[in-house]
Homo-oligomer: A and B are copies of this chain.
Amino acid sequence: MTELDATDLHSALSDPLLDTMNFLNEVTHRYPDAISFGPGRPYEEPLDAGTIADHIDAYTSYLAKQKGFTPEQVSRALFQYGPTNGLINELIAETIGHDEGIAVAPEAVVVTVGAQEGMLLVLRAVIRDPADVLLVSSPCYVGITGAARLLDVAMEPVPEGPNGLEPAAVRAAVERVRTAGRRARALYVVPDFANPSGGSMPVATRRELVDTAAALDLLIVEDNPYGFFSRSGERRPTLKRLDVGQRVIYLGSFAKTCLPGARVGYVVADQRVRAVNGTVSLLADQLSKIKSMTTVNTPSVSQAVIGGMLLRAGCRLREANQGRMAAYRERLGALQDALGRRFAGSSAVRWNCPDGGFFVVVSVGFDADDAALLRSARDHAVVWTPMSYFYLDDGGRRQIRLSCSYLTPAEIAEGVRRLGDFIEA
């Protein structure tokens, strides 16, 4: 029998980074009655399987009526291999025009299997070789650090401040990278309600960051999964909206605003790329070439579902998401209220108060490691994520991340009660 040795596989597989989330899932699975502040996934809306057919119908009607497709062409669009860079690029460009004020040609959009594939494509394209370094916020979303590990991409953490990334910290990180003889090539950042910190960048800081990137010849990879879910309703411009010099590669996702099960995301990559022979293409075309070797194309069926949802929303997802925005506002409010009630007098327990999104970071007076998580799940039936999972260095040891997106306000209140019992145990 063939038995493979784990040390004989790619080193990413031995990286704790790729294991941590498995541990969290395992704990959640082992204690099904625990209230879980773990996953950052969208809450479950009561949906009927039949709505899938309605969305597809809306898309195929559009192809027939607006685009003049024959029945054969409609069938081909839905059932055959599609174009590598996507079918619904035009609808996506129109939607981000309405929702974010981002003006972009459909040709600059690449439709991906979730934002995760977008991260993979962008990293593979722009990181030339081992001398190129990706700057990441610290703490950072594991999707990007995991993708970087898969591709053997070197990373340099940029510590976040209370309002997210700060240009001065970016400049310092670029300097560290240069001193080490390498090139800081790109910066990954979630400006709105970041995962895991919840931090959001003020508008002035956004402008300064875009200018800083231009001055340092740094590309910005902006990821915006949570932008709609502000508590106050205040809208801040995305970095891409402020990007006059095409410094910003923008990652979008329909998982939180349409349907997680469709797995449709996209990249906006309107940068010009000049070949050795002088011909000019878009970075989106280069990402397509890579995509032809990762997934070939995003399933037409999935794209048709999302295309139909966009059409039925008039390509205005912000309006269509009013209900979700209210639901997440309520959940984040419930979490803040519960934390306030439970830990009001505590000197050891502190937490932040994000302007929106799914996540709150709680500082606790002890090491919030895997052993603590296991005790919390087993003895107090409450699950959370150790913040140390989100650091490349030894940061976050005495912090936990609470995600409220998936729980009802009542579950949140009960979960915080249990968390209090655990912390004081």
Residue numbers of A with Cβ under 8 A of B are 1-14, 18-19, 21-22, 41-42, 44-50, 52-53, 56-57, 60, 72, 74-76, 78-82, 113-114, 116-117, 120, 124-129, 143, 146-147, 149-152, 214, 219, 245-247, 255, 259-264, 271-276, 280, 283, 286, 289-290, 292-302, 305
Q: Which residues of B contact A129 (CB under 8 A)?
A: 10-11
B57 touches A49 (CB 8 A): yes
Q: How far, in angstroms, from A247 to B3 measured CA to CA in the complex?
A: 9
Q: How many copies does the complex hold?
A: 2
Complex CA gap A225/B254 in Å reads 31
- Asked if B1 and A273 sit within 8 Å, CB to CB, the answer is no
A44 touches B19 (CB 8 A): no
Chain B residue nearest to A112 (CB atoms) is B295
State which of B48, B273, B286, B302 has its C-beta within 8 Å of the C-beta of A299: B302
Quote the shortest CB–CB distance from A206 to chain B (angstroms): 17
Can you list 26 pairs linking A and B with CB atoms under 8 Å apart? A1-B245, A2-B214, A4-B274, A5-B274, A6-B275, A7-B276, A9-B128, A11-B128, A13-B286, A14-B276, A18-B289, A42-B80, A45-B79, A46-B72, A46-B75, A49-B60, A52-B301, A80-B260, A114-B295, A120-B293, A149-B293, A262-B301, A263-B296, A263-B299, A264-B299, A299-B301
Residues in B with CB closer than 8 Å to A247 are 2
Residues of B within 8 A of A294 (CB): 116-117, 120, 147, 150, 294
- Bound-complex Cα distance A117 to B291 (A): 10
Cβ B128 vs Cβ A10 within 8 A? yes
Residues on B with C-beta less than 8 A from A297 are: 263
> B2 near A245 (CB under 8 angstroms)?
yes
In-complex Cβ contact of A293 among B18, B259, B274 (8 A)? B18
Are A261 and B80 touching (Cβ within 8 A)? yes
Query: Do the beta carbons of B81 and A125 come within 8 Å of each other?
Result: no
Partner of A261, one of B5, B7, B301: B301
Task: Flag if A52 contacts B47 (CB, 8 Å).
Answer: no
Given contacts A6-B273, A19-B289, 14 further A-B pairs with CB under 8 A are A1-B246, A2-B271, A3-B280, A9-B273, A13-B286, A18-B290, A44-B76, A49-B60, A49-B74, A49-B75, A82-B261, A116-B294, A124-B150, A294-B294
